[in-house]
Chain A
Amino acid sequence: MSKRLPYVIATALLASLSLIAHARETVKIAFIGPLTGGVAANGLGGRNSAELAVKLRNADPKAKYHYELLVLDDECKPNVGVQVATKAAADNDVIAGITHYCSTVAMGTVDVYHRFGLPVIVWGAVLPDITYGNNYKEIHRVNGTMINQNEVAAKFMTGLKFKRWAIIHDTTDYGKGHDKYFSEFLKKDGGQIVGDFGVTADQQDFSAELTRIKELKPDVIYFGGITPLGVRIRSQMDKFGVKAVFEGTSGIISDAFIEGLGPLAEGVVAFREGAPADKLPGGKMFLKEYAAANYSDPPEAYGPFAFAATNLVIDAIEQVGPNRKKVRKVLDRTKDHDSVVGKITFDDHGQNSVPLITKFVVQDGKWVVWEDSEYASGKRSLTGR
């Protein structure tokens, strides 16, 4: 009996220790993005990145809570988004959300988050009004807005001596926003808009629009919309003999865009806020961890933002505990917070300032930073010149 006592005590101690380790309270965080439909690739990349942040934190012995990611699919449709946002916000166990790649969805759901007092961080949607169109303290955003993106886009392309633009945009708030800001900046920089076409996001055939555009002889076609539509327009441009540079927005920066076009993607330019992940010290760590986790889909352009947003939320919860109001206040005060996308500071609308805009061009089936490309060095020239 006495011989076995030490073992018993040791076992009991070990058991209670492991109990403590396991007894970390579980805290739920919601992730919402488009997991199905045309831009699912971006949504899955974002989800994996958020999941990765949660996994890494749960493995950290210093973490006070155990985190659980509630993943919801907004299908990039506002009505579905409102539905799942309500689901997340109505669940009292959910403390905060990492929400939305599609601007159209985010525009619809901000009211829901405000109504239920759920603090969220937008990880991919770029329409300015999501943060600036309201005074909701619950809404934050780690990525930048489309304003800066289009300012750089207009200046850069006019700088390359292009003169005539034809614009095709989808008729969502997202497409219209790009149309509006790009047109404004382009006029300021002296470019000429020879035609402006609004198309629905699920249109398949562009023969009529492109035949008319061909007559207008633009140097550049500016496209304000997201990947699936962009793939269709770029590929039909070729069919109808429209020889112009294809200039897109952050909405087409995805591997799916290149996969959808094959060699036709070559020479497409697009712009995104923030430095590319592999140019930042934290970003390299992120890409390494992401690769190690063996996800079947790439992180895509906004994966790092989803990762950063998730960490931001978790840090806030670690600081003040799982309480929506307290977490919201911590997030509101975010200043110079280190992350894989650089330092994050929220202004009074919860908007992170992302001053740097990166220019991308597709070269040999990859999105390459413009300055590193053979296009910048003069080895290749953009088509249509």
Chain B
Amino acid sequence: MDLALLAQHALNGAMLGVIYALVAVGFTLFFGVLDVIKFSHGDVVMLGAFTGLATSIGLSSAFGSVPPWIAVIVITLTAVAAMALVGALMAKFLVLPLHKAPTLNVLLITLMAGTVIRESVRLFYPQGSNPKPFPRLLPDGAVNLGRLTLRFDSAILLAIGVIAIVGVHLLITRTRLGLAIRAVAQDPETASAMGIPFQATVLATFALGSGLAALAGVVNGLYYSEVNFSMGLLLGAIGFSAAVIGGLGNVYGAILGGFIFAALQTIGAVALPIASAYKDVFAFGAVIALMAWKPAGLLAERSAERV
């Protein structure tokens, strides 16, 4: 395999990695503040993508043709805002009431919430069971570097993803909200005692994570030019895997995990002497092996057991 081809595969993998990382960060944030897994996360990604799609249709029917870059911004902001709201609502009415119940119940209730989202899109979005074309709003061109094709839209999406990830990093390390999130994650009781509103912080965290999911959904839609109601299932499972490989509760771990998972898939599809269809078998098998080696993820929390 020559260098150009290798670079092409690396580029494709990086694109997947960004999407996975955006999803994984949500998982890790929720786990950080509440020690819960919100399994509807993949479906929130899907709902975000459909919100974006509906917005774009609404936009073009209301104003005729809109400059693509305005459309992209409006779509993204609407989807992110809507999903942030959905995330906060789910936290308030589904997750927080079960906070004291066994963690398994939270997993189950969010899973069912995911089913509700998925089925609602299928049933109530017009012709929701069909795959939907996502508008192509990014410039079409490409640079050819020898046999390596770098498309502008991929580059832009890659940049959006990286900016979002850096943004989350800054938010968590440099702002008051970030401080509150970190405090609640570390010790909810002490945090409340110090005057940090527990519920508000949790809701904000869920809004943040779900907003990122919406961004992942829109990026996914713009990248593949297609969205469908069932896309969230596997994305959710992959995002969760990525968050766990990295070490739950650790934002950098989630990002790392996202890229690792994408790399595993790409290696499974390209570099191994087996049919490319085995790539998910390979990737998930590698995840299991990785867990046997590093039981608490690659970037594990310092204390092995929090009591």
Contact = CB atoms under 8 A, between A and B. Distances in A.
Interface of A: 36-38, 40-41, 171, 197-200, 202-205, 207-209, 211-212, 215, 227-228, 231-232, 235-236, 238-241, 256, 259-262, 264, 297
Interface string B120-156: 0010000101111100000000100001010100100
Contacts of A38: 129-131, 228, 230
Contacts of B226: 231-232, 235, 260
B259 interface: no
Q: Which of B13, B131, B142 has the most CB of A within 10 A?
A: B131
Given A38-B228, A200-B277, A204-B224, A262 B130 contact: no
Given A41-B130, A209-B276, A239-B225, 8 more contacts: A37-B129, A37-B230, A197-B275, A198-B277, A204-B234, A205-B16, A235-B225, A256-B131
B127 A259 contact: yes
Given A36-B129, A199-B277, A227-B131, A239 B9 contact: no
A208 B276 contact: yes
A248 to B, nearest CB: 14
Given A215-B5, A259-B127, A208 B223 contact: no
Contacts of A228: 130-131, 228
Interface string B260-304: 000001100110000111011000000000000000000000000
A198 B228 contact: no
A231 B131 contact: yes
A212 B277 contact: no
B8 interface: yes
Contacts of B225: 235, 238-239, 264
A227 B127 CA distance: 14
B180 to A, nearest CB: 36
Given A235-B224, A239-B224, A207 B130 contact: no
Contact of A261 (B133, B142, B235, B269): B133
B234 A202 contact: yes
B12 interface: yes
Given A207-B16, A228-B131, A36 B277 contact: no
Interface in B51-68: none
13 contacts: A41-B129, A199-B276, A202-B230, A204-B224, A205-B16, A207-B9, A207-B12, A212-B276, A260-B130, A260-B131, A261-B133, A264-B133, A297-B127
Interface string B235-273: 100000000000000000000000000000110011000
A41 B122 CA distance: 12
B130 A40 contact: yes
B231 interface: yes
Contacts of A264: 133, 225
A204 B276 contact: no
Nearest to A231: B131
A137 to B, nearest CB: 35
A76 B57 CA distance: 30
Contacts of B269: 208-209
B8 A197 contact: no
A208 B270 contact: yes
A40 B226 CA distance: 17
A37 to B, nearest CB: 6
Contact of B151 (A41, A202, A239): A239
Interface in B64-118: none
Contacts of A240: 12, 149
Interface residues of B, number: 37
A38 B131 CA distance: 7
A81 B205 CA distance: 43
Given A202-B234, A204-B231, A241 B133 contact: no
Nearest to B132: A260
A59 B269 CA distance: 57
A377 B57 CA distance: 35
Given A259-B133, A260-B133, A208 B5 contact: no
A264 B173 CA distance: 44
Contacts of B122: 36
Contact of A208 (B132, B235, B279): B279
Contacts of B231: 204
A41 B235 CA distance: 24
Interface string B156-196: 00000000000000000000000000000000000000000
Contacts of B131: 38, 227-228, 231-232, 256, 260
Contacts of B15: 207
A236 B133 CA distance: 12
A236 B9 contact: no
A211 B228 contact: no
Nearest to A232: B226
Contacts of A241: 142, 149, 151
A259 B130 contact: yes
A204 B133 CA distance: 14
B96 to A, nearest CB: 33
A239 B266 CA distance: 17
A237 B9 CA distance: 15
A241 B150 CA distance: 10
Nearest to B129: A40
A211 B8 contact: yes
A-B pairs, 5 with minimum CB distance: A208-B269, A207-B12, A40-B129, A260-B131, A256-B130
A112 to B, nearest CB: 26
Contacts of B129: 36-38, 40-41
A216 to B, nearest CB: 12
Q: Which of A40, A205, A227 has the most CB of B within 10 A?
A: A205
B276 A236 contact: no
A36 B130 CA distance: 9
A136 to B, nearest CB: 32
A257 to B, nearest CB: 9
